[in-house]
Structure formats: C-alpha cells, structure tokens
Amino acid sequence: MAENITGNFLMLLATIDPIGTLALFVGLTAGLAPSERRRVALRTIAYSTTILLVFILLGQVVLGLLGIRLEAFQLAGGIIFFLFGVQMVFGMGSAGGGKVEDGHDVAVFPLAVPSIASPGSILAVVILTDNRHHSIAEQAITAGVLLGVLGLTLILLLQANRIYGLIGNAGATLLVKVLGLILAALAVEMILGAGSELLADSFPASP
C-alpha cells in the first residue's frame, strides 16, 4: 500500500508539475496586488480540484460508453506521459502552459487548464483509479493523494514570489527536469504493463 501511495504521489506530482505552475503563476500575477494574487491562487486550485475529481468519478464511465478499453487508454497515456517527460527534461518550462488570452480569467486559463488540470494529470487520475484493479477504498486514497498534491501546489502558489526568489530560474528549471525524468520512468512502467495486458488478451495462453 505504501509503495502504491508513493507511486501515485510521484505520478501526480510529475503530471500536475507544481514547480512549472509556480513559474507560470509568478509571471502571470506579477502586476497584481498580494490580496488579488491570493484570490487567483485559491480559484486556480478550486477549479483544478473540481475538474480532476470529476474525471476520477466519471472518466472511466465515459471511456466505457465510448468503447475504449482501459488498457488501450493506459498505453496511450503512458506514451503521452513519456513525451511530456522528455519535453520537461529537454524542453523549456513545464509540460503544461500556455499564453494568456484577453478577457479570460488567468485562474481558469492557463493556470487551472492546461497547467494543473493538464492532459497528463487527467490521464493520470483516470488510470490510477482503475475500477478493475482498485477498490473504492484504494480509489479514495488516490483521491486523497491528489488533494495532497493540490494542497502542496496551493502552498507554493501562495508563497510564489518568495519561493521563486529563492530558487531562481535555474533552480526551477532543475526541479522541472527532475520531475520530467521521474515521469518518463513511470511512463515506461505504464507502457510495459499495458502492453503485456493487451498481448495477454489478444493471445490467451492455451489451457
């Protein structure tokens, strides 16, 4: 159980990428008063939490209605996670991100979506709460881990300027690259697991 919790935590930490969100938040809210910056941080986490919890509850149901096997979704997710990890290691910034559009609340776009509730984190919460392999209690624990990672992200956002001032661009980049490496390794495990299940289903062992 402890190993599963640790793995889920690392997967969610890498896909939600609090450090990348922190860097984006600092840039987007640099001109705001401290009170308004705090409100933006709270709204960002509220929106992200709602989106990800909805996908925990309904994501697998939607896949079933579409006729998509979870193994195929997991394999596709593993490939996407791997690409995100490579981008984080060799690219610039976080896996999420985006430019601000006029007339939009930055707490919704790009902070909640696609920085925190990114395609990677949405895939992660659906796969980590697979109804076939995890009981309701285990899925509730995963939801609790998700809330913990989002709580950590909120703390970082509330202390954004102070933290970013301490670690600077170099420190933030280093942390993002480390998270990217972890994500890539977890993605390989997902690809191998999903691939073996698909092969077993396609070529069942002879009795």
Asked whether residue 193 carries a pLDDT value surpassing 60, the answer given is yes
Residue whose pair of structure tokens reads 């609090």 in the numeric block? 18
The residue with greater pLDDT, 156 or 81, is 156
> DSSP H helical segments within 67-118, as ranges?
70-90
pLDDT digits (tens, 9 = 90+) for 97-131: 444 445 568 899 889 988 899 877 988 999 899 87
- Torsion (CA) 139, 94, 189, 55 in degrees, nearest 10: 30
pLDDT digits (tens, 9 = 90+) for 14-48: 889 898 788 788 878 877 888 999 999 999 999 99
Containing 64, the helix (H) or strand (E) segment is helix 34-66
Residue 103 confidence (pLDDT): 56
Domain 2-196, classified CATH 1.20.1250, yes or no: yes
Q: Where are the domains of the chain?
A: 2-196
pLDDT digits (tens, 9 = 90+) for 40-95: 999 999 999 999 999 999 988 887 888 887 778 778 878 887 887 888 788 744 44
pTM for this structure?
0.75
Task: Quickly list DSSP for 155-206.
Answer: HHHHTHHHHHHHHHHHHHHHHHHHHHHHHHHHHHHHHHHHHHHHHHHHSPPP
